[in-house]
Structure 1
Amino acid sequence: MKKLVLYFLLLSAPFAVRAQFDRLKDSVVQVYGVIMTADSLKAIPAVSIVVKGRNQGTFSNDQGVFSIVVLKGDQLEFTSVGYKPVLYTVKQDSGNQISLIQLMVVDAQYLPATVIAARPTREQFERDFVNTKVPDDGIEIARQNNDAAKRRILSRSLPASSGEAASTYLRQSAQKYYYQGQAPPQNIFNPLAWADFIQAWKRGDFRNN
């Protein structure tokens, strides 16, 4: 019985392979044609024709002619620089050969204007190089901040530290208790106060920032 089954399997194997080969042969399609511009019907060379989803493709020749073997249901993508991409689907009910005239539309893109200037002379380059303002680096900014006038300006804008605030409070409290029960003297008649006022005026302590 086993030999009989094996005998029938061996006899039916060629027919099964033949049927599978016929189905594969029926699904293979050769697509050939020419690619042209839609406005002037001129041949477009070097157009890329790629089967989507598979590593398969070809290019059109100088006359825009191409040929490729695909399967029914595949999608062909036509791409070229300066033209809008086109997607073509091979129908399931198509024959084994398809002749195609594929038209492609120009993809116009407007680029910003480019101004081409002459090369500067040596004198112009040296003048522009010398007059170019180079931004200050960290070292130069630190050097400018250490300037005496800059430190005075920064000190007026910064709040007092805890030590300075405590020292000022204690000094004011001591002066208040020192003249407790009597009127404090007026510094308008103090020459030392006038000297400090004049020095502060010369330094610009009362100048508005």
Structure 2
Amino acid sequence: MKKILQYAFCLLLTGCFIVKTQAQQVIPKDSVIQLFGVVMTADSLRAIPAASILVQGAGRGTLTNDQGVFSIAVLQGQKIRFSCVGFKDVVINIPDKVVDNQYYVIQLLVSDTAYLPATILKPRPSREQFERDFANTRIPNDQYEIARQNIDEAKRRVLLATLPADGREAVNAQLRQQASKLYYQGQQPPINILNPAAWSEFIKAWKRGDFKSKNDD
């Protein structure tokens, strides 16, 4: 009987310890607060968009909107880090006792200037040295092949017939394509195989040798 009472007493102590441990792990509702505010520059008081608000030790955070406004749920006593590219980081502490479970802050960030090492640009001392360096520049073999293809006469004719000459012509070609697409919207566009103008362009290209094979050379 005595052993049974001792065993029951040990179980009771163990249960009390487990309940106490679980109670300590539960976060009280009063400790959760809503942190909100605005992040601005310290010199001109302008809103900083896309600034990071990170809860240290929690692995979570948020970003400010276009007006620099943010809102995030945190715990009392936590540390909040404000950071943004081009500004110095700022860390604040949430008070242990906050009224109405809300905390408002206007955080000012100071600009952080990054000084890069000086770069000095110097011209070529002479034309002879430029020609020497240009002639000794090593070019991969595939670049030679691309250059050889670009100077091919048949390819240059095809590019001349297909590519626009300048920006204005490119815009006009795009507008003509859009107009043609909208004109034939909801119906079958015409087939160029029955178009005399298309046949005329094909015959001219064939006579110029645009479709001539390289092996025939």
TM-score for both structures, normalised by structure 2: 0.45
Higher Rg: 1
TM-score for both structures, normalised by structure 1: 0.47
